[in-house]
Amino acid sequence: MNEDELNLLHRYLDGAITAEELESLEELLRGNAEARAALRSLATIDAKWQEIAADEAFGKVVEPTALAAADSMVASGVGSSIGARPLWLALTALAAALIVGAFGWFRVPEGTPTKADRGIARVIRIEGDGTAGEDRTVVDGTELFAGEDLAMQQGLVELAFRETGVHVIATAPLRMKLSSTERVALYEGQVKLVVPPQGVGFVVDTDERKFVDLGTSFVVTASPKGSEVLVLDGQISVNEHDGASKDLMHEGEFARFDRNGETRKKSASSRSLALPELSLPVTKPGNGSLHGVVLGYGSSTAIAKGRLAKDAIGRELLPLIQSDFRDRTCLDAFKQSEPLSFRGIAGAFHEFPDRTGLVPYVREGGWMAWYHGQVLPPRPGRYRFWGYADNHLLVAINGKPAYEGSRRDSSFKELGIPRTNNPALPCLIAPAGFACSEWIELSGVPIQLDILFGERGGNLTSGLLLIEREGDTYEETFWGQPKWPLFLTEAPNADEAAEFKRLVDHLEQKTMGSFTVSEDAVWKVHN
């Protein structure tokens, strides 16, 4: 492949490709197996597999920055903007994928399947217990074969199809049949698909309809009540099984197909991938506030050599978390902002470190906000947190981590905090959708609360932290997402309420999400 061809792949992955370039890319992919392997590697395979295979072949000579770039592509999804990066870095990541692709698939050092043993798809990762066929246990790296049934009672499975490069995230309860390399039948569960150009025509069958990809990313849900589909990007064809009718659905459109034959559709307005940043002033903590501070590196010399590509700031704060937030010696490595109060986590936070007075700081090293204090839940009961963040989000209760909503490149993943991903509740930066915690039983006594939220490098940051109480009912969006309350420890003032409304309007119109602001759901600070 020449440099123009390599650039063509990266322009597609960056979402910057023109219509003319897309025609050239499709022609390239039809006639060049190497190009198909490269695109499949970059668009659908987790960086962990790249690192394992590259280490095996070359003794760990692949640059960590290249792997980080490839992981960023996977985490963002095909068609998302990854932002500016040097050409050499992109080409290094692609070269690593090409080298690994020469082996035919990403391999582990032992137990490499022979060509005859390879299935039509391979499991990238699984969270929970799953089975394939009649009694095969599914683990990371399991080969899946045509005609096999894939089932899970709880958890999530991520897999990639070998020939078409289709990437699938499926959540339990799940019953799905891998009919062929170009088709699956979904009986129960939720699947989110990202389909590269060589996978156009991929089919998802449910009892009600046949959904045919036309170059897109979409979510299909199947349940005893019927099936639903949400088009996240591109377009799909929705067909009846007897071929009686066909209908095109485009980006942002949603449809329900009930078992009784009823169909409901809704279209979203033109979407924007940019979450608005709330233009609110940073406030100092008072007697009724959680106390917060923003941490960052004051100079590049404070960051250990080679740590920028490995989430330096998240890893540096792991001892604080593991000590139940008692051992604060790790904070000595950081520059700190002025004290600030907690105003909620919602929207974009691109300029947040600047507004808190952290500047100047090393942007490449990232930043982290830490809020802490005693709070009282609104009422006794069982609660769980919902949300996501780019990159870090963690909530601890009485020193113990209770919720982790970070992206996959966060060091907080090493803590193994249980979470449930929900790909049918789409968000901009998390391929697995909204994440929620396990249920947490709370009485009417104050608890110690610690919240960490931040960015591993740069300043393109966004997040959302919501709270649900078991037994309470919440209005739902048309797309089926409950409007859980924003997690707050103080009632918003008039300016904040107006800004939150602006963000809600954006979410409901552009990204099919929402939340509410309720004083009845505020967790009061207890001094």
CATH of the domain at 147: 2.60.120.1440
* Token pair listed for 152: 């899970």
Q: Which domain holds residue 329?
A: 291-470
Q: Are residues 124 and 235 in the same domain?
A: yes
Average pLDDT, integer, range 375-379: 96
Q: Are residues 78 and 128 in the same domain?
A: no
Does residue 9 carry a pLDDT above 80? no
In 302-379, the DSSP E strands lie at 335-336, 340-341, 346-348, 367-376
CB atoms within 10 A of CB 493: 12
Residue 500, H or E segment:
helix 494-506
* Token pair listed for 494: 């008039």
With contact defined as beta carbons under 8 Å apart, do 457 and 365 qualify?
Answer: yes
Q: Is residue 73 part of a domain?
A: yes
Q: Is residue 107 part of a domain?
A: no
| ∠ CA 226-231-235, rounded to 5° | 120
**Residue 361 banded pLDDT, cuts 50, 70, 90:** very high
Q: Are residues 229 and 303 in the same domain?
A: no
389 phi, psi to nearest 5 deg: -160, 155
| Residue where a domain stops, chosen among 450, 470, 490 | 470
| Residue where a domain stops, chosen among 470, 485, 503 | 470
Q: Is residue 459 part of a domain?
A: yes
Pairwise CA distance, residues 130 & 150, whole Å: 7
**Residue 147 banded pLDDT, cuts 50, 70, 90:** very high
Q: Are residues 308 and 259 in the same domain?
A: no
User: Which residue has better confidence, 55 or 193?
Assistant: 193
- Name, in order, each residue with C-beta under 8 angstroms of 193's C-beta and a sequence gap of 6 or more: 166, 167, 168, 202, 204, 213, 217, 218, 219, 220
Looking up tokens 């997402």 gives 481
Number of domains present in the structure of the chain: 3
Q: Are residues 27 and 164 in the same domain?
A: no
> What's the N-to-C CA distance of the chain in angstroms?
65
Q: Are residues 57 and 177 in the same domain?
A: no
Q: Are residues 136 and 97 in the same domain?
A: no
Per-residue model confidence as pLDDT tens digits over 63-121: 333 333 333 333 333 222 222 222 222 332 333 333 233 323 323 333 444 444 678 99
Q: Are residues 402 and 450 in the same domain?
A: yes
Q: Is residue 485 part of a domain?
A: no
Q: Are residues 327 and 250 in the same domain?
A: no
Mean pLDDT of the chain: 79
Q: Is residue 488 part of a domain?
A: no
Pairwise CA distance, residues 205 & 209, whole Å: 6
Report the range of poorest mean pLDDT among 207-211, 241-245, 325-329. 241-245
Q: Position 235: which residue type?
A: Q
Q: Are residues 50 and 132 in the same domain?
A: no
Q: Position 378: which residue type?
A: P
Q: Is residue 417 part of a domain?
A: yes
Q: Is residue 502 part of a domain?
A: no
User: Which residue has better confidence, 267 or 108?
Assistant: 267
With contact defined as beta carbons under 8 Å apart, do 340 and 453 qualify?
Answer: no
- Please state the pTM of the whole predicted model: 0.62
With contact defined as beta carbons under 8 Å apart, do 80 and 15 qualify?
Answer: yes
Q: Please tell me the predicted confidence (pLDDT) of residue 299.
A: 84
Q: Are residues 160 and 257 in the same domain?
A: yes
